Amino acid sequence: MAKNTQDSYHLPLQETIVHNNKTVRAIELVNLSLLVSVLVYRLVYFKDQDQYLPWLLAFLCESWFTFNWALSICIKWNQYTTKTYPDRLLKRVSESEFPAVDIFVTTADPVLEPSIITMNTVLSLLAVDYPANKLALYLSDDGCSPLTLYSLVETTKFAKLWIPFCKKYSVQVRAPFRYFNSKSTPLKDDSLEFQQEWNKMKKEYGELYKKIDLAAQRPFICDRNSDFAVFDGVHRSDHPTIVKVVSENKEGTSSDLPHVTYISREKSPKHQHHYKAGAMNVLARVSGVMTNAPLMLNVDCDMYANNP
């Protein structure tokens, strides 16, 4: 038993599998030799041409094509696949030894980048198989939209149901819109408990979708006595910094919801804001003050994470 434990400790966390592509290499070399032969032919018979300009243009075009072909061969010459084994990580270290990770999600416009898509990205990241007390998610809103903050608040409420569901039933696709689209109904062979929870979860996600969609269709009223009072009278290109802690893992438990923070950086027409680079700079500064994790992960608002 001790020997098996020791062997499992030394198992690699990742493996590089090299593909046998000798046939592909041979074909690529034949094609390259033919292209080089054409270039040699152009050079040898260049002086014999009465109209050298078309001949020169053909030579230049073929040279550029050959150069691109050579670059493509370099890329495809060594083909391999990297396979990871995240399940072996717990055999080496305990969860308490995992490094903390600050996750950055950036969005700029709730119209061009619909909030429901951004929130699916947030949900998939919050539901990853990683201790919640080691994660912190920061959402950067360059559009300074109260709709984005409202969507994030409602999403964290749904996340308290979605995350336990994903971990209990080992859901692979952890973005709800993708999960429910790929699986319209639970299978008949699934347990009755799973079918009931699946239907409940789909209903809850439908309610979240309706709330965000309804809020997007009408003007957002910023009540001065609410958390959205800071948006009253602000313009997306001229406003002070807004930082809102939406969810805080106060107990520091691995089963709770990770830290979730909304950030809209200061903007002024008098100063260049440097687009996404400026947003990333502010995210790094704010996270450095609040959680200061040794690792940072940047994710676009239209991406989502799967359970490997």
Q: Residue ranges for the binding site for Mn(2+)?
A: 276, 300
Q: How far apart are CA 247 and CA 100, in angstroms?
A: 17
Residues at the binding site for UDP-alpha-D-glucose are 113, 142
Cβ(66)–Cβ(36) below 8 Å: yes
Integer Cα distance of 216 and 219 in angstroms: 8
Residues placed in the known binding site: 113, 142, 276, 300
Q: Distance of CA 130 to CAs 227, 247, 301, Å?
A: 30, 17, 20
- Stated as kind and residue range, the H or E segment containing 281 is helix 275-290
- Gyration radius (Cα) of the chain, Å: 27
User: Helix, strand, coil % (nearest 5) of the chain?
Assistant: 50, 15, 35
Measured distance CA(25)–CA(4) in Å, rounded: 41
Cα angle 226, 162, 149 (rounded to 5 degrees) comes to 25
**What burial class does residue 162 get, using C-beta atoms within 10 Å of its C-beta: 0-12 exposed, 13-18 middle, 19+ buried?**
buried
